[in-house]
Amino acid sequence: MRTRLSTALSVALFAAGLAHGAQPRELHTVTPIDAAGRLSIESHNGTVSISTWNQSNVAIDARIERADYGDDPEDIEKTNVIVSGGGSEVRVRSDYSAVPTRSFWFGFGSMHSLPLVHYTIRMPATARLSVSVHNSTVKADGLRNDVEIETHNGGIDLTNLGGGANVETHNGSIRLDFSHYSAPSRVQTHNGSITVNLPADARLSLTASGHSMVPTMSQLPMSIQSTGSDFHAALNGGGPELRVTTHNGSLLLNRR
């Protein structure tokens, strides 16, 4: 009860605003989550940075600030963060519903102006992560469970990853650094480079396809077979699949 009250109070204070005008607004709240629970994040503009800790809670710090291309200072106060759930699933969502729709013309197209929301989050390493963002970069370190990330314009950088990864970005680079490889993973990008770091003893089966992509290996004993734009390889005899798809991008596999 005290935890729920504390969370509700933090969100209420956050919604009230810490300052007027273009000053950034901040939120800090802690919500309980099961060790194998699920954290889901939805946002539009900003960044998401995640680290792990040995607590059965999710600590969420959010900073809302003005973008560089002309949003109204009052939009900062109209942008909120909604934290809901607990236990088996915690949901975090950037709420722009009170922000008026505006478009700005830059000669090459229109741009919808929304404030930036920068998340710094700590979560249990054994919990699952699901992120859906639009104009945001996503970074995470030390996760041991499965990760699912989708971003339209922005990069993805996952280090010390111990679970499977299902990640996709339209315009942006992807870097996956596996501490060990034990679950199938899927990586997809339209325009952007893909880098995958793997332990020397990792066992996996690679399936890669791309319109103008040729996989590059660095210190990994993999022999690639190609059929048109499809590539296949087995590392250390094969294992869980690593499926990579890119339209205009490169693939580099490194020994960790």
Residue 172 CA, distance from chain mean position: 12
Q: Which residue has the tokens 């501490």?
A: 179
Distance in angstroms (rounded) separating the CA atoms of residues 66 and 141: 27
Helix, strand, coil % (nearest 5) of the chain?
10, 60, 35
Query: What is the pLDDT averaged over residues 209-233?
Result: 83
- Please give the average per-residue pLDDT across 200-227, as a whole number: 86
**How does residue 102 score in pLDDT terms, banded at 50, 70 and 90?**
low
82-98: pLDDT as tens digits? 999 999 999 999 999 99
What is the three-state SS of 168-228? EEEECCEEEEECCCCCCEEEEEEECCEEEEECCCCCEEEEEEECCCCCEEECCCCCCEEEC
Q: Which has more pLDDT, 147 or 112?
A: 147
pLDDT value of position 20: 41
- Beta strands at 230-235 and 225-227: parallel, antiparallel or unpaired: antiparallel
Q: Mean pLDDT, to the nearest integer, of 168-190?
A: 95
Please state, in angstroms and as integers, the Cα–Cα distance from residue 123 to each residue in 38, 43, 145, 164, 175, following that order.
Answer: 10, 18, 11, 17, 21
Query: b/e string for 124-155 if b means 16 or more Cβ within 10 A?
Result: bbbbbbbbbbbbbbbebebbbbbbbbbbbebb
- The domains of the chain, with CATH numbers, are 2-62+82-98+119-255 (2.160.20)
Alpha helices, DSSP H, located in the chain: 2-16, 74-78
Q: Contact at 8 Å (CB) between 114 and 127?
A: no
Spatial separation of the C-alpha atoms in residues 32 and 249, rounded to whole Å: 40
